[in-house]
Chains A and B, each alone.
Chain A
Amino acid sequence: MSNDSPDDVLGALLRRAATGDEAAFAELYDAVAGRLFGLALRVTANRTLAEEVTQEALLQVWREAARFDPARGSGMSWMLTIVHRRAVDRVRSEAAQSKRELVYESRSAPRGYDSTVELTLAREVARTVRTALAELPRPQREAIELAYLSGLTHTEVSERLGVPLGTAKTRIRDGMAKLRRVVGGGEVQP
């Protein structure tokens, strides 16, 4: 997609990496590791898990680089999809689930957990809100944050917000439609 010029660079690096070019992959790492790790950290709320997820995702990027198809989206979008899926899978696995619940509990009553992560998270949430999501009405913003950035299922989103499932889905759908207008990407109308 041409609306994000650095993607051309990432796409080109991916294509070189697909041929086994380790130097290109190292360059790709330097360009995207912070972004992928940042998203993994936001979703898992756990530095160790986030490191594991980022490492696994990057190895998947290396293995499957030949599958990247620029006709379907940007290199960044492709890599974020991989890391997000892995992060969500990790937090939904049972062991991770309990840890994450702890982090959630501690947000309302902070004690005995990694306050650095928590601070980072708080800052990052604030930063996101100032960017694309800030344009969305609060109910839509909250629903999308919980789904995408906290890695909850739609059922969990409705529980967390205390609204019926249909309402949660509507907020997410309408929020994504609004986001489309804000970022001005894509040709397909939601």
Chain B
Amino acid sequence: MNAPRASESPDDEWRDQVVLHSLDALSSDETRQVEAQLAASAESRALLDALRQDLVALSDGLEVDPPPQLRDRVLAAVRTTPQDSPPFTAPSSASTPRSGTTDLDAARHRRQSARGAAASRRQGWLIGLVAAAAVAVGAVAVTTQWGDQPEVPLADQVLEADDAVSWSDSAEGADYTVVYSASMDRTVLVVENAPEVPSDRAIQAWLVPADGNPVSAGLLPDGDSVELVLEGDLNRAAAVAFTMEPQGGSTAPTTEPFLAIPLEG
């Protein structure tokens, strides 16, 4: 009675979990775990999408006309319900992460020019010791620029580290590069052409473990070109995912990731 199990890359148990998730037949804890792992696997998301497509057949023939008042209520509610802004769509399962030194070089280069422009404005900002470094064209300036003291910000040290490795992907025209230095044991996120975020929202980064719930890695600061020292241990993560959250962030993701960068290789 077993189905053929050819060419599997996720193992049987994981596949079963995805099947049960497609039916909404997992407990809430199991659902959270599976969703976190799905964020890191485009292949599994494609499997889930295909299963959901098959399930359409199961409600074919169940149609029941709702009461006419429902139409009035829904259409009235729609008139006063704001819509989510278009830039934050769920990731396409076709999204292909790129990684390699080219992205790191590009990130370093872009960063240098952005930083030059910011520094030339002579606006120093003291943010916390291990705080977000926001380099935004025309807006906020660099961290730990304290008087003329030449202190190299942590983000720069990571980006310039000899052992820095990077993973990149883009979503809606924004480029996200995760840079990790093993010698410093720190991770920096560089976002170029960062999307505009409504004032009551924020983009939150998450470290997604292979097994377990996503852990917040920090909130992206405002600006088009952003650097952020990520919190948490990248070695325990299978992916870095990004979600839209209410301003101030959430303790667990409340929306589906619009981007997940698998930390492969």
Contact = CB atoms under 8 A, between A and B. Distances in A.
B88 interface: yes
A99 interface: no
Interface stretch (B16-24, B111-119, B150-158, B161-169): B16-24
A69 B51 contact: no
B62 A124 contact: yes
Contact of A85 (B24, B70, B79): B24
A127 B64 CA distance: 12
B3 interface: yes
A81 interface: yes
B259 to A, nearest CB: 13
Q: Is the interface of A mostly helix, strand, loop or mixed?
A: helix
A64 interface: yes
Nearest to B71: A29
Given A29-B71, A69-B90, A149 B58 contact: yes
B90 A72 contact: yes
Interface residues of B, number: 60
B54 A186 contact: yes
B25 A59 contact: no
A55 B25 contact: no
Given A67-B89, A147-B25, A187-B50, A59 B83 contact: no
Contacts of A25: 75, 78
Contact of A80 (B56, B64, B79): B56
Given A37-B70, A157-B25, A132 B62 contact: no
Given A51-B66, A72-B49, A154-B26, A39 B84 contact: no
A88 to B, nearest CB: 4
A66 B84 CA distance: 7
Contacts of B101: none
B82 interface: yes
B137 interface: no
A42 B66 CA distance: 13
Given A59-B74, A148-B25, A124 B52 contact: no
A18 B57 contact: no
Interface in B55-78: 55-67, 70-71, 73-75, 77-78
Nearest to B24: A88
Interface string A65-82: 111110111101100110
A120 B16 contact: no
27 contacts: A22-B79, A29-B75, A33-B71, A35-B63, A37-B64, A38-B64, A54-B66, A55-B73, A59-B74, A59-B78, A62-B78, A63-B81, A64-B83, A69-B90, A77-B52, A85-B24, A127-B61, A131-B60, A153-B26, A154-B20, A172-B16, A177-B4, A183-B56, A183-B57, A186-B50, A188-B47, A190-B51
Interface of B: 1-4, 6-7, 15-16, 19-20, 22-28, 45-47, 49-67, 70-71, 73-75, 77-79, 81-86, 88-90, 92-94, 256
Given A77-B53, A170-B1, A170-B2, 8 more contacts: A38-B63, A64-B83, A77-B49, A77-B52, A154-B26, A176-B51, A189-B4, A189-B6
